Amino acid sequence: MSQTIPRTLPTAKLLNELQTFGARVVDPKAGAASRLGGAGPSDHKALTIDGVTIMVPVHTKPASSSPYLVELPDAQGASRISRNGIDMGAITFPGRPRFYDLTTDDGIPYSKIAVLHGADVLATTVLQSCVRYQSREKTCQFCAIGESLAAGSTIERKTPAHLAAVAKAAVELDGVKHMVMTTGTPPGKDRGASILAESAAAVKAAVALPIQAQCEPPDDDAWFARLRQSGVDTLGMHLEAVTPEVRARIMPGKAQVPLERYFSAFAAAVPVFGRGQVSTYILAGLGDTADAILEMSASLIALGVYPFVVPFVPISGTPLAGHPSPTADFMHGILAPLADMLVQAGMSAASVKAGCAKCGACSSLSTYEQRRHA
C-alpha cells in the first residue's frame, strides 16, 4: 500500500522536480493535447496541482525515466501522482479548449493558429519560420520551430485576421486571460516587430485581451512605441543564455546580436512599456553558472526588466535532445535568491500584464515570489 504525503500547497521543490524530471503519464491523451515541436514549451503537458498549472515534460527522453508517475484520471478527472511509488496527491489536466473545434472561413483549424498554454494563455507563433533556422550552424540548438510545421500541426504565417478570430473565440469560449505572440525572426531589420504590431492591432480591435509580443531587439528603438500603440502590453526580448561563450555555443546565429544591443534595447523599451513589463527568458542548465544567471538578473532588474528563468528542457528532434535538464537543486539555487531580488525591487509576476512571466507555467519562480511575500 502506498504512503501519502500530506500537502496543502505544492512545494517549489515539487514543481522544480516535475519541470526538470518530467513525468510518466499513463494516458498521454488525458486533458488538452500536448504538442511536439514548435516554439515555447514542446513535448510538454499542462497539469494543475493544488491550483497551480505548470508545463511538465512528458514526451522527452528524461521523462521516460522520471520518478513521477501520473495515473489514469478517475471519474472526476483527478489523477493520482506518485514519486518512486510514494503517493504525492492528485492532479488534474486542463481540458481541451472549445476553440480548438472551430475552423476559419478558409478551412484552417483554429488549433493550427494558436494554442492554449498553461491554464489561461493563448499562444501563437505568428511566423513559424526563422532566418536563423536555415542552417544548423546558425540554429538555436534548443529550438524546434520547424518541427511542428513539418508535422503539419501549425501553419507558417498566421494572418492578423486569423489571430483576431481565434483570440475572440478563445476569450468567449474558454476564458483565456492573456496572449503570447512570438515569432521566428524574419530577414528584415525589424526582427518581426512589424508583423507583431499588425497582429496585435487586429486582436485588440476584436477583443480586449492583454498581449505580450516577443522578438529579438529590432534595428530601431522607435519600434517599441509602435508596438505599444498597436496594443502590445508587454514585451519579451529573450537572452536565453547569459555568458558570451554559452551564447556562441548554443545559439551561434542569435549570439551575433551582442549583449550590449539587448541592454540598449531594454533601456529604451522599459520607459515605453513600464517597469516590470519588459522581460527576458533565460534557460538555466545550458552551461551558465547560477552565479552568472543571478549576476545578469541583478543587472536586468536594475533596468526594470523581469528575468524569467526557466529550466532547460531537451526537445525531441533538436541538437540538444540528449542534453540533460538542470537539477531541481540547481533551479532552487537560482530561483530562491532571484525571487528575493524581485520582491526587494518591487517587481512580481502578478503585476506583469501579460506573457510568460505572468503565466509562469514553465518555471516555479512565481511560487518562490509568493512564498517570499507570505
- The residue ranges that bind ligand SF4 (CB under 6 A) are 40-41, 55, 117-118, 121, 123, 180, 356, 359, 361-362
Structural contact between residues 352 and 319, judged by C-beta atoms closer than 8 angstroms:
no
Q: Give least dist CB 244 to ligand SF4, A.
A: 25
Q: What residues form DSSP beta bridges with 47?
A: 54
Query: Which cell numbers in the block locate residue 230?
Result: 498597436
Q: Give least dist CB 41 to ligand SF4, A.
A: 5
Report the C-alpha gap between 256 and 215 in whole angstroms. Answer: 15
Q: Give least dist CB 211 to ligand SF4, A.
A: 12
Which strands make up the sheet holding 52-57, listed edge to edge? 24-25, 68-70, 78-83, 86-92, 44-49, 52-57
Q: Which is nearer to ligand SF4, 80 or 233 (CB)?
A: 233
Report the C-alpha gap between 281 and 113 in whole angstroms. Answer: 23
Q: Which is nearer to ligand SF4, 226 or 356 (CB)?
A: 356
Query: Which cell numbers in the block locate residue 323?
Result: 542534453
Structural contact between residues 214 and 238, judged by C-beta atoms closer than 8 angstroms:
yes
Cα–Cα–Cα angle for 216, 221, 225, rounded to 5 degrees: 100
Q: Give least dist CB 119 to ligand SF4, A.
A: 9
Q: Give least dist CB 300 to ligand SF4, A.
A: 17
Q: Give least dist CB 17 to ligand SF4, A.
A: 17
Q: Which is nearer to ligand SF4, 44 or 80 (CB)?
A: 44
Give the residue among 79, 66, 63, 84 at the shortest CA–CA distance from 30.
79
Report the C-alpha gap between 291 and 59 in whole angstroms. Answer: 31
Q: Give least dist CB 35 to ligand SF4, A.
A: 11
Q: Which is nearer to ligand SF4, 82 or 128 (CB)?
A: 128
Q: Give least dist CB 325 to ligand SF4, A.
A: 15
Q: Give least dist CB 357 to ligand SF4, A.
A: 8
Q: Which is nearer to ligand SF4, 40 or 217 (CB)?
A: 40
What stretches of the chain show up as alpha helix (H) in DSSP?
Answer: 12-21, 145-150, 160-174, 193-206, 222-230, 244-250, 259-273, 290-303, 328-344, 356-359, 365-373
Q: Which is nearer to ligand SF4, 178 or 323 (CB)?
A: 178
What stretches of 210-324 show up as alpha helix (H) in DSSP?
Answer: 222-230, 244-250, 259-273, 290-303
Q: Which helix (H) or strand (E) holds 209?
A: none
Q: Which is nearer to ligand SF4, 90 or 359 (CB)?
A: 359
**Residue 209 dihedral angles phi and psi, to the nearest 5°:** -135, 120
Q: Which is nearer to ligand SF4, 41 or 73 (CB)?
A: 41
Beta strands 234-236 and 278-284, pairing class = parallel
Q: Which is nearer to ligand SF4, 82 or 174 (CB)?
A: 174
What stretches of 11-95 show up as alpha helix (H) in DSSP?
Answer: 12-21
